[in-house]
Amino acid sequence: FKSTGLTAGSRLLKDIDGYNASQSKLYAQRNEEDKAQLYASRKRTLPGTFTWQSCLDALQEQGGGVWILSEFNSWLSNVNAKYNEGMKSRLTAAYDVDDVIEERTRGHGSIRIDRPYMSICGVSTIEFLKGHIGQDDLLSGFLPRFLWFVPPSNHGKRPAPLPKRGVVVNQKKWQSYQTLHDVCIDLLKSGTQEVLINNMSPAARVLYEDYFNRIYDVCDSADPKIQQYLYVFAKRWGPTLLKLAMLMQLVIDHRSPTPTEESLRSAWAVLWYAIQSTTILLNSHFGASPIDTKNESVLRYIAKKGGSVEYRTLVRSKVLSGDTMEYDRIVENLVNADLLVFKRAKVKKDSVLELKDS
């Protein structure tokens, strides 16, 4: 139900985008170009499949936006594609909201975007992610900029076939939807406000410092094998707590955007869950060496295929982010470890891989 949750969480944004798109089209038909462009610029979603050039075009038109990704691993594959070389570092830089992004185009022109911003909200299974996340990703500045959330386990529990009687399924009738809708519309009309952290009350500053120290307490007491990764994440969690508090404050009182004790407590509730989730993921899934992770990804894939798969099928599966040579290395590792049998055919791609115990 990961996509169902994502759809529910992004419903408000998509509804507002739909309204702005319809208004833009309406004014364009009336030849009122200024109003048409105004509503077009209020769009906030970004396309899931893209090149860096198309991303720049969208940012130039909208000023920023958010990716809503039902398959985050596919988006990662897109970012890592050869035609998007260098995109990960560009996204990392853009995350910090540079004053200006200026790039040359293929036609020898230039694109200039003032204070661009972007957000990424995606869901994926752990099994798919493991094939695309390595040690370098965890130690770089890219993935630690994300907040990772692991949902509570529903193992062994059957989902309800229908909602209970009396449950409101029309999301637009939820009070939370209406409240956030009013806030978002007001913000779109009023524009941005400058938030000065120095204006935080003394009590709010003390509370923030307490939360900040708790972040590093978690790192100091963690298993040594994942500490190096946690410290990289911790450098981002401190500023993220402030950003979350600013968002919470907009809901509490968007006319006074400086974080308060109340908004900091709300932000910490979200961040604390992310810290716990990240620790679980590093301990159980991503803390292993890159080779171990790739070995396990291939073994899991073959097991899902019934314990046997053609070599060509494995390569097409994209459970690894590299080229054919990477698959060759991993298969060789698994054969040498006596975990895999390689039944060679005259044509290599017709060869069959079988789990040793199948």
The model's confidence at residue 77, banded by pLDDT at 50, 70 and 90, is: confident
Residue 340 near residue 288 (C-beta atoms within 8 A): no
pTM, rounded to two decimals: 0.72
Quote the mean pLDDT of the chain: 82
pLDDT the model gives residue 134: 66
Bridge partners of 342, per DSSP, are 353
CA distances from 232 to 136, 140, 253 (A): 12, 8, 33
CA distances from 109 to 50, 112, 203, 226, 297 (A): 20, 10, 51, 46, 43
Work out the number of other CB atoms within 10 angstroms of the CB of residue 340.
21
In tens, the pLDDT along 150-187 reads: 888 777 778 778 878 777 667 777 787 888 888 777 77
For residue 301, the Cα-to-chain-centroid distance in whole angstroms is 23
Work out the number of other CB atoms within 10 angstroms of the CB of residue 67.
17
Residue 230 near residue 278 (C-beta atoms within 8 A): yes
In tens, the pLDDT along 98-124 reads: 677 777 766 657 788 887 888 889 888
CA angle, 75 then 81 then 84, to 5°? 95
In tens, the pLDDT along 203-242 reads: 999 999 999 999 999 999 998 878 888 998 999 999 999 9
